[in-house]
Amino acid sequence: METQDPDRIRIDVQTSYLAEQSDPREPRYVFSYTITIRNEGGSPARLLRRHWIITDANGQVQEVRVDGVVGEQPHLKPGQGFRYSSAAVIETPVGVMQGSYQMVADDGRQFDTPIAPFRLAMPGVLQ
């Protein structure tokens, strides 16, 4: 008998380089990212907090721990999704972001949803 994971949250990420906000002379490289969070589990859950680890090509790490996303703590019923966009600023043309969302199911169980590493890269830098 197959049971559905009550805490299955899917994360999809799209990134883009924002040339108009970046200045390589500074050095300042700005990237936007759009995250889609989808509840593919069997229980409703609310996103409480996010934790990001942003690492540039020089190994400089920024760590961010903040409540919610873009000022919200979305509540996702099974099958529902939530999409938001934000930005990250690093000092190199390439970097990596990863992290997790702390979630709470309607029954009070808390769990972390990992966000797999994804690349921030200025076009033409990586082949």
3-state secondary structure of 111: strand
The predicted-structure confidence for 26-64, as pLDDT tens digits, reads as follows 999 999 999 999 999 999 999 999 999 999 999 999 999
**Beta-carbon count within 10 A of 39 CB:** 26
- pTM for this model (two decimals): 0.90
How is the chain split into domains, by residue range? 9-116
Q: Cα angle vertex 47, ends 106, 29, to 5°?
A: 170
pLDDT (tens digit, 9 = 90+) per residue, 72-114?
999 999 999 999 999 999 999 999 999 999 999 999 999 999 9
Fold of 9-116: Immunoglobulin-like (2.60.40)
CA-wise closest residue to 72 among 39, 45, 108, 46: 46
